[in-house]
Amino acid sequence: MTTSKVPSLKFPDGFLWGAATAAHQVEGGNFNTDCWTLEVTKPSLFLEPSGDAVDQWNRFADDMAVLSAVGMKSYRFSVEWARIEPEQGKFSVAALDHYQRCINACLERGIEPVITMHHFTLPLWVVRGGGFGAPSFPDLFARYCEKVARSLRGISVVCTINELNVPLLVRELIESRLMGPASAARIELAEKALGAPLKTSFLFSPAEALIDNGLSAHAKARDAIKSVLPQAKVGVTLAIQDEQAEPGAEHIRDKRVADYITPFLNGVRGDDFIGVQTYTRAVARKDGSAGPTPGHRITVMGYEDRPQALAQVCRYVWEQTKTPIVVTENGWAGNDDRRRCEFIRDSLTELHAAINDGVDVRGFFYWSLLDNFEWLVGYAPKFGLIAVDRSTQRRSLKQSALVYGQIARDNAIQGAAAAALSDAASETQGRLGGGALGIG
Ligand code: BGC
């Protein structure tokens, strides 16, 4: 079957197509952070330690070769504060040089690097000083961001803080993990190892620390970056689910939105862009809970498997803020790569319709480029377009990488049929030849 007879859903010129990762989830050996410390404290709140992760610290350029070969145009990755400023006020030239080499590896291949300054992990000295809640936090964060902006060449798009609001979205989940018979002892051990209360670690931060200090840290960092790089586009990213309600539970949904979405949208309206990160829909119920619709297919993350959620959220964010959107994360976790292909196609088809209706979306970053360390739940959930055998660190392309790469190359979905996607994939597979890349 050829793809020529099916309609082509063209995206706007200059639409940025990429994939995303975060330092702690892929680099490996990120010792000087709160998360590493919590992972290796026994018994741990984390299912397993990140360890070598997928060794992107040493394999960055190889990963960029693959990303560009399959057709993507951009890579969103984070630089690690704990490596760049391992002690307060002391900056590591070696770490900055490393990230310069990463940026160069992108630029040499025509890949636009999108840099995230903070993606969940904090240097130990920051948590020991009070984390996001410390009065000094906004200035410390802005100083670090300014240092990065001054030191690294080739940066034009920056996300200051990844999912500034996510601790509020996952609070119930985290609290449920912290309950149970052994938890008081686990928390005590965790706090002893950190040398600070658990709430100084980003994922455990309370609302005030995020809404007051977090938004102020973002604003100061944005201004500091722009003072050095006036042309740079700077935004924050937010975790936003498609919040819906069963009849009679609208007030529950509205409270959820008021708690974890509205203060943040109000705080960043008018930025260069808002990074939207959507994985699912949550339906509020009259008993006060919210989650997947009963009976609906769910992913290994326990999320309702709902590709339509992304476009719904983009419509909502646009309506509320009239601020350009970059989808900085959207993806599907599980081993059924065929379903991942469908999920990507369906999310993008809905997104295309939203763009046609006037929603200003400038780019899309699939989460994640590689299977990687999924925080508290370790390595089991597989989000990647590229699989990694962690016993050898060998990469192998999944079909979804080829499908998505073809969409990126065409700047269009060539028809809505799954068959068309397979055609696209096999064309790309033929062109690339797995062997040439030394992968799968
Ligand atoms: C985070 C990622 C995470 C992904 C999938 C987002 O909340 O930014 O670090 O791996 O969701 O759960």
Number of domains present in the structure of the chain: 1
pLDDT of residue 173: 84
Residue 348 lies in a domain: yes
pLDDT of residue 47: 94
Residue 4 lies in a domain: no
Q: Which residues of the chain have pLDDT under 70?
A: 1-6, 415-440
- Give, using CA atoms, the residue closest to atom 9 of ligand 1: 22
The CATH number for 187's domain is: 3.20.20.80
> Which atom belonging to ligand 1 lies closest to the Cα atom of 163?
8
Token pair in block for residue 276? 């939207």
CA angle 277, 262, 316 (to 5 degrees): 55
pLDDT of residue 426: 54
Question: Domain of 416?
Answer: 9-439
> Which atom belonging to ligand 1 lies closest to the Cα atom of 237?
8
Token pair in block for residue 334? 């599980």
CA of 8 to the centre of ligand 1 (A): 31
Q: Are 362 and 325 in contact (CB under 8 A)?
A: yes
Model's pTM, two decimal places?
0.94
Distance CA 407, CA 17 (A): 9
Residue 391 lies in a domain: yes
Q: What is the pLDDT of residues 44-67, one digit of tens each?
A: 999 999 999 999 999 999 999 999
Residue 2 lies in a domain: no
Binding-site residues, ligand 1, Cβ < 6 A: 22, 25, 162-163, 166, 239, 277, 329, 367, 374
Q: Which residues contact 416 (CB under 8 A, 6 or more apart)?
A: 6, 7, 9, 345, 349
pLDDT of residue 183: 85
Residue 145 lies in a domain: yes
Mutation test residue for ligand 1: of 298, 367, 370, the one with most atoms within 8 Å of CB: 367
Token pair in block for residue 295? 């009976």
- Number of Cβ within a 10 Å radius of residue 56: 25
Residue 217 lies in a domain: yes
pLDDT of residue 174: 84
Distance CA 41, CA 187 (A): 10
pLDDT of residue 421: 59
Report the run of H or E that residue 135 belongs to, with start and end: none
Residue 234 lies in a domain: yes
CA of 270 to the centre of ligand 1 (A): 25
Residue 3 lies in a domain: no
Alpha carbon distance, N-terminus to C-terminus of the chain = 26
